[in-house]
Amino acid sequence: MAASKTQLVGGAFQDADGNVLKNGYLIFELNQDEKVIDSNDLICAGIKVKITLDVDGNVDTATPQYIWGNDDLLPINSFYRVWGYSAEAQLVWGPNSQQVISGATFDVGTWTPGLLTNWSPQVTAPILETNNVLNGDQSLLNLKDGSNITITDDGSGDITIAATVPTVLTPYIDIVIWYPALTTTNQDLLHFEVRHGLSFGANFSGSKATTNTPATTDTTINVNKNGVTVGTIVYGAGATIGTLACTAFTCAIDDYLDFVVVTGDATLKNIAITLVATRTS
């Protein structure tokens, strides 16, 4: 049997208080241009169709009103955008996406607003899981910000998930020497066994050497790595701040450092030294 338009019936459009949409009307608009399934009839989506309602808010059947069923049109999955108006042309319903199923009649009262029942493949509800475990609520998936995570809906279907990388502090190790007594020649102020990989910057960057009892003459403290001098700390005559010098170097586990006074001084004491190294392992 050749495809033909379907008569619309029913509806009983009314407000929440039960007042019917007396003598109102519906406007139908196809979402895209279509073709009747078994003919060369082309249906123009740009032409809106007006369907009048009776005093009871139903489709007026005194003069039958027809429209194409979406299942008789190609391409598949077409639908109508439907608006409902009062007799005074006030928009009171929709717009909603709806489909008409072909047949002798179609009752628009069977519509669920916005639900497209004739769709291929059949629309199915998604299964909501977290880490492959079913969510307790299968009707709502609400994405929420988390620690250092921001989720933004741009309003056009895109969700942006942004992570703020927390500040990671550089792991430093301080080698601290406090020597209150007078220094003597070849005195080893500290023997330090290395138990982590260490990296020292040029001129022991970030480090400091002080005293509150200055030297009478320039006094040098060698910093030796495994017995070889890799840097110096010099207290100038009368100075309370020592000068640190070295080329950047590293230490591995089981290396060792010695802080050796080259020549003792008659007045230098209360030495405070803090060498700063970056831990590498």
Question: What domains are there in the chain, each with its CATH number?
Answer: 6-110 (2.60.40), 172-279 (2.60.120.40)
**Residue 269 in this model has a pLDDT that exceeds 80:** yes
Extract the tokens encoding 1.
């049997």
Q: How many CA atoms lie within 13 A of 17 on its CB side?
A: 1
Q: Indicate the average pLDDT of the chain.
A: 92
Q: Is 37 helix (H, G, I), strand (E, B) or coil?
A: coil
Q: Among 71-75, 139-143, 179-183, 240-244, whose mean pLDDT is lowest?
A: 139-143
Digit-coded pLDDT (tens) for 209-242: 999 999 999 999 999 999 999 999 999 999 999 9
112-157: pLDDT as tens digits: 999 998 887 776 778 888 888 888 888 788 888 988 899 998 887 7
Q: Which of 219, 215, 218 is nearest to 270 (CA)?
A: 215
Q: How far apart are CA 240 and CA 48, in angstroms?
A: 93
Q: Is the separation of the CB atoms in 259 and 189 below 8 Å?
A: yes
